[in-house]
Homo-oligomer: A and B are copies of this chain.
């Protein structure tokens, strides 16, 4: 779920009927939203502390910087932070052994030799491990940021030092954003043949601005829900002239982004913001999909009493069997200490319900968008808002009742907790494999369409991560493989078989 908020914002962008070609203007709302979402993450990020907080207000575009090898084909905040960034990357490498292992395995055969990859993703220490892996496998890379606030400046500097052409810094303007993408794509004597995108901005810029370059791309790897959605729309319209791979829906990524990651981040997010004691608390979790299942499991395990609301009887029945009472929110609204929304729906918690909550109760959102709690309805004159900590507001009713609202209803796990490097490693490894697959696929294997990650590669990503747990796979004997009708090396499940959220 790490990148979903970006995603959602972009969906709104589309819904706002803003034409792609009009982006340089009227993008105020978008950058504002980004600002809000990202700044919340920062407050808990370990890396944030390394970011230069000097009062250097000069725009990187106006500076001239040279790396230690004399190169100037980049634009970052401050090349001098490279050493700090290197340490961050080294720390990240410790938890990304799958990627390092891939680097080692594939290094001699250089499967990306000749690949010219242009990338547009969050630029963090984890991404740097990915980029440096791509380079080790033979690729040339140019990179830009998919979010104007998420760049770790010192990591960008460190990448730049090693010769990767990075155009990104924390706090870009909207204009900077597109300028960076443009500089990334176009440079003399270099033309990209692969795209790694997160959100689809890079893809669409190239599609619109450089159609001739775009046509020669061998493959696109897209990370986000929105980007994938845009690709499917292009494909449906018959305009997608390049094979693309949807890595968002790989089983491994989905399970980790939702069930396992939320199981940990719900506790972390609540604790860091409110220091609440979980034991004995009454909690209602709205929605029993993967996110809801993760939240419920963690809270129950720590001694909370958990209620579930659901609209889908199949999910509801699972909640029953897992030991949760399935109720309507109104049945327990006066009772509960904490409400957590995990629905993807809107107005799941209404003003009317907030009016009836207990003094001191907590409301937060782990779901898809920031509309699950009707926060807007709380911005009325009779209610007082008191910011008691970063990401924590007390909303105070006229009778003195306080409701504790976290992250103003935005995603708690993005705003108030961190994402383990291990989860990002799964994403990055999947991206690397998808690039290798598309780049090396024989003519005809992929047409001008959007593809899911082949099951076998999904399994391969998983297998690379087993070493972290010192887990040992069992191998089929020939006889067993025959009995089961499987290849000994997988895939062990058919391609159509994949994770589906919420059942």
Contacts and interface: CB of A to CB of B under 8 A. Distances in A.
A476 interface: yes
B484 A345 contact: yes
A307 to B, nearest CB: 10
A309 B466 contact: no
A475 interface: yes
A326 B467 CA distance: 11
Give the interface size class of chain A.
Answer: 35 or more
Among A94, A418, A469, residue most surrounded by chain B Cβ atoms (within 10 Å): A469
A211 interface: no
Contacts of A331: 472
A255 B318 contact: yes
Nearest to A93: B360
A421 to B, nearest CB: 7
A348 B480 CA distance: 9
Interface string A438-476: 000000000000000000001110110110111111111
Contacts of A290: none
Contacts of A329: 474
A316 B347 contact: no
B389 A49 contact: yes
B94 A316 contact: no
B302 A298 contact: yes
B260 A264 contact: no
Given A264-B277, A323-B279, A252 B317 contact: yes
A282 interface: yes
Contacts of A325: 282, 305, 469-471
B303 A322 contact: yes
One complex includes copies of this chain to the number of 4
A312 interface: yes
Interface in A53-86: none
A280 interface: yes
Given A312-B490, A312-B492, A327-B472, A418 B459 contact: no
Contacts of A348: 480
Contacts of A463: 313, 316
Contact of A418 (B275, B300, B500): B275
A346 interface: yes
A316 B473 contact: yes
Contacts of A218: none
A149 interface: no
A272 B417 CA distance: 9
A268 interface: yes
Nearest to A304: B323
Interface in A283-313: 286, 298, 300-305, 309-313
A301 to B, nearest CB: 3
A212 interface: no
B458 A314 contact: yes
A169 interface: no
A192 to B, nearest CB: 32
B503 A317 contact: no
A91 B499 CA distance: 39
A260 B420 contact: no
A497 to B, nearest CB: 5
A312 B300 CA distance: 24
Given A301-B302, A325-B471, A326-B471, A316 B462 contact: yes
A328 interface: yes
B282 A470 contact: yes
Interface in A248-263: 251-252, 255-256, 260, 263
Among A95, A302, A458, A484, residue most surrounded by chain B Cβ atoms (within 10 Å): A302
A30 interface: no
Interface in A378-415: 388-389, 394, 402
Contact of A279 (B263, B279, B499): B263
A67 B94 CA distance: 56
Contacts of A105: none
A421 B275 contact: yes
Nearest to A319: B471
Contacts of A388: 46, 91
A483 interface: yes
Given A303-B263, A466-B320, A345 B480 contact: yes
7 contacts: A275-B420, A302-B323, A305-B325, A345-B483, A347-B479, A493-B502, A497-B503
Given A298-B302, A313-B460, 6 more contacts: A271-B271, A277-B420, A316-B473, A317-B462, A317-B466, A317-B471
